[in-house]
Structure 1
Amino acid sequence: MKKPHAILFDWDNTLVNTWEVLHQAVNETLDHYNHPAWELEEFKKYSHGTTIDLLPSIFKDKWSEAAPFYYQRVEKLHLEKLQVLPHAKKLLEFLFEQNIPMALISNKRSDFLKKEVAHLGWDSFFEVVIGAGDAARDKPHPDPILLAFEKMQTQPSLNHWYVGDTTIDWQAGQDSGCQPIALWTDPSLLEMKPSFYLPYLKDCLDFQATVANFLSLPIEKNIA
């Protein structure tokens, strides 16, 4: 791996925990349309793409009718239940202090994504924020990452890292020409043989130490 010239992040369950929001919104939509509720683990199996991918798999030919109701539930819940993952803010502050450009690439609907970033007061951390629909195709295609590089006026290389928690993040990062970093929440990433990964729960803390090492900076003994 090479020193990072810029670091791009996924959002949901990489920097913030949104499982509760999305799970509740889906179950309220299922209930509204007389479908049985899903357990959280069942929901997670289907939730790594965009909502445009998720809803048809649940509601079949009724998905376009269910979508507005689902989005209403997400809009009501997403800010009040948004949770920052441990050490995520400290990591972003550290990278910002080191003048490492950052961007955000997510399959979350763009308006929801930007509201969440603003709600946390994190706008200044990211040069670019790309959500679902901003590029011609969403992840796992590389288009959103390539769009971010275009807006940052740079070319992708292995000096540019893309950090995410799912196989579609790894695939998008790899196909864009940058270095994908796998945060270890999805066991199926094993099949893709990532060259670098971090364990869940210690993700941001370990990642900060990793970047400090690549930049040859002293690592604080206590950065919790």
Structure 2
Amino acid sequence: MSILKRFPALIFDFDGTLTDSAPDITLGLNRLLAQEGRRELPLSMVHHMIGDGAGRLVEQAFAATGVALTPAELGPMTARYLAIYGALPVDRSCIYPDVVDTLTALKQAGHRLGLCTNKPAGISVDLLGELGLDTLFDAVAGGDSVARRKPHPDPLLFVMDRLGVDAGGAVMVGDNANDVAAARGAGVPAVAVAYGYPRMPLAELGADIIIDRFADLPTALARLV
């Protein structure tokens, strides 16, 4: 069976999988923290906060500086962070090596590509456009597209529905446990990249295959067929 026939739909995480977004996320958080008179956080610390959505990111960032945001404070503070982050200039060098060429080749081969991220959908779509990746993707699910974010399978199922496939025709490609858990919940295989923000030893992610380079994805898919 060909890769295309087995996996007509390929679905990707964003942060830590397609782009090294941690520096900009750190910059946005630190600008917000500075506005609130809090200390800045190092990039290495923020790496471990990425992946659970903007609200949880902001909550963890303030907690790291000794402030426990109340539910009433968290919403407005998250909105402020998203406004700061969304206004940052986008540098296409944040795209990991081989991502553009590999996605382009897969798209040209006939695969439908989806994005499944815990970033808000609007910001995700805007970023895809600014990075020049928007024409490659056929469907996008953000952390606010459905009621529950990854690790729940709902956003992945949302993308699969829009790509017109069921569990027999898709694979999830990500970098952390949320991506693998969502894939498991949706009944699809999971490929993990080794260079992202896993927050745990790679061997503990439970992915079907781990790849060191994005360019290794076609070979990994062939092994799953």
Q: Shorter-normalised TM-score: what interval? A: 0.7 to 0.9
Which one of the candidate residues 43, 54, 58 is aligned to 1:55?
58
Paired letter, 1:34: G
Q: Report the CA distance shift for 1:18/1:191 in structure 2 as closer, same or farther (over 3 A).
A: same
| 1:109 counterpart = 2:112 | no
**1:177 match:** 187
- Give the aligned partner of residue 19 of structure 2: 16
CA RMSD for the aligned pairs? 2.1
2:154 matched residue in structure 1: 143
Superposed structure 1 runs of 4+ greater than 3 Å apart: 208-215
Report the structure, 1 or 2, having the larger strand content.
1
Show the 5 A alignment for 1:7-156.
7-57=10-60, 58=62, 59=67, 60-61=69-70, 62-77=73-88, 79-80=90-91, 83-156=94-167
User: CA, structure 1 residues 17+90, in 2 after alignment: closer, same or farther (shift >3 Å)?
Assistant: same
Preserved CA contact (<8 Å) 1:105 1:131: yes
Gap regions ≥5 residues in structure 1: 216-224
Q: Which residue of 1 aligns with 2:204?
A: 191
Q: Which TM-score applies when normalising by structure 1? A: 0.85
Contact in 1 for aligned 2:9/2:165 (Cα 8 Å): no
Q: Give ranges in structure 2 of 5+ residues lacking alignment.
A: none
Q: Which moved more, 1:144-153 or 1:87-96?
A: 144-153
Q: CA deviation at 1:193?
A: 3.1
Alignment partner for residue 167 of structure 1, among 164, 174, 177? 177
**1:214 Cα deviation after fit:** 6.8
Relative distance call for 1:156 and 1:78 in structure 2 (3 A) is farther
**Separation in 2 of the partners of 1:81 and 1:69?**
24
Q: Matched residues, percent identical?
A: 21
Equivalence for 1:204: 214
CA offsets, 1:60-109, max 9 Å, x none? 22323422321221011152476211010000111012101111111111
Measure the CA separation in 2 of the matches of 1:213 and 1:42.
Answer: 35
